[in-house]
Chains A and B, each alone.
Chain A
Amino acid sequence: MAVAETMLGLLEERPRHGYDLKQAYDRLFGERRPLRFGQIYATLARLDRDGLVRMEALEQEEGPERKRYGITAEGVADLDVYLREALDPKPGLHDELFTKVVLAITSGRDAGSLLQRQRSAHRSRMRELTASKRGADLLGVITADRDLFHLEADIRWIDLTEQRLDRLRKELTHA
Chain B
Amino acid sequence: MTDSAALLNKHSFVELGARQRAKALLDAGTFRELLDPFQRIMSPWLLRQGVVPQSDDGVVIAKGNLDGLPVVIAAIEGAFQGGSLGEVGGAKIAGALELAAEDNRKGIPTRAVLLLETGGVRLQEANLGLAAIAEIHSAIVDLRQYQPVVGVVAGSVGCFGGMSIAAGLCSYLLVTQEARLGLNGPQVIEQEAGLDEYDSRDRPFIWSLTGGEQRFATGLVDRYAADDVTQIRQQVSQLLHLGVPEQHRSGQAELFLQRLARLDTDVQIEPATVRQLYQGERS
Judge: A and B partners, yes or no.
Answer: no
Residues on A close to B: CB < 8 A? Answer: none
Residues on B close to A: CB < 8 A? Answer: none
